Amino acid sequence: MTWCTVIGNWGDAIACYGNIRKLAEEEGLDKVDIIYYGLNPQVAGFVAQQEGIGRFVVSQPPDMQTYAQVIRYACETPDVSLDRWFGFLGADKIISHDNLRITHVNAERHQSTKVNRYPMKVRDEVYQKWCQVVIDKFVDKAVLLVQPYSLDNASIPLHWKHWIDAVDWLDKCGVRMVLAGKDNFLSQYEGGRNTLNLIGKTESMEDVFALAEVCQGVLTTSNALSMYTVANKIWSMVMQNAVIEKSKYFTSWIALPPNQRYSVNVDFSHFKTDFERYWDRQRLNYYEKEDL
């Protein structure tokens, strides 16, 4: 059986899954086995439930120092021998080097613009839960999912500087919004007539992915959500942070349609003009009795 590698967090896992599915197609495999190395068991569970996955082994780092060392060698340093990092995964007894395929985002992939996107699924019970929450608030109206900040790889100053103004403008324009994220920098919008504030109320990114499936469009920073919208072909406007702009691979990922990708330095007036045009199109594609 062929084993493939998934290393890292949510966005890494989405990229890895695309690479895995591409490899399975090329080699005529119905299923491949996976070894996951990372800190988040929710990421492992999300990947394990996807199509084409056989056995799934989770290797959790014993500490941050070991994890950082594996990431440095396996993902960031070019031309590193497998022996330099594979032993840390603790899978030598069940996986031979001959059966292993490198499908995680390593140093070579970071410099590439070739990406492989394949649709992924959230658990039905997760989708149904958030579908009901959104319906209870907005009934049958078109809704925009907004995730302004993601601090896993970029601090607040490295995000698009107009996020607060953008959410305030959308609120004043009457755009129905679901706000998502871990950190509540937008608490002033709690309880607004057109806003459902779920910041800090979702347990994992799978919940946010489910909300993206429920809503009619997404406005987000450059994080795993901006990759999920590409994989599942959900319209999204992506305001890049300054960190991801340094990665040729991930900027190529989030630039794929139906995403609309913008530089971290894009001005507010440009955003407003484009949003109005794109959102009007999204609303017209959705049955909304109030506005048609």
Q: What's the confidence (pLDDT) of residue 91?
A: 84
**Domain with 139 in it:** 124-284
pTM to 2 decimal places = 0.93
Are both 29 and 148 inside the same structural domain?
A: no
Question: For residue 115, is it within any domain?
Answer: no
Question: Across all residues in the chain, what is the average pLDDT?
Answer: 91
Question: For residue 98, is it within any domain?
Answer: yes
Q: At what angle do helices 205-214 and 224-231 cross, to 10 degrees?
A: 50
Question: For residue 217, is it within any domain?
Answer: yes
Alpha helices by DSSP H, listed for the chain, are 10-27, 41-48, 64-71, 107-110, 124-138, 163-172, 205-214, 224-231, 248-254, 268-284
Question: For residue 117, is it within any domain?
Answer: no
Q: How confident is the model at residue 292 (pLDDT cuts 50, 70, 90)?
A: very low
Are both 146 and 201 inside the same structural domain?
A: yes
Are both 130 and 244 inside the same structural domain?
A: yes
Question: For residue 8, is it within any domain?
Answer: yes
Question: For residue 190, is it within any domain?
Answer: yes
pLDDT in tens, 255-273: 999 999 999 999 999 999 9
Question: For residue 119, is it within any domain?
Answer: no
Are both 99 and 214 inside the same structural domain?
A: no
Residue 161 confidence (pLDDT) above 60:
yes
More reliable by pLDDT, 139 or 204 = 204
Are both 79 and 144 inside the same structural domain?
A: no
Residue 156 sits in a domain whose CATH number is 3.40.50.2000
Q: What's the confidence (pLDDT) of residue 182?
A: 76
Q: How many independent structural domains does the chain possess?
A: 2
Q: What's the confidence (pLDDT) of residue 189?
A: 56
Question: For residue 100, is it within any domain?
Answer: yes
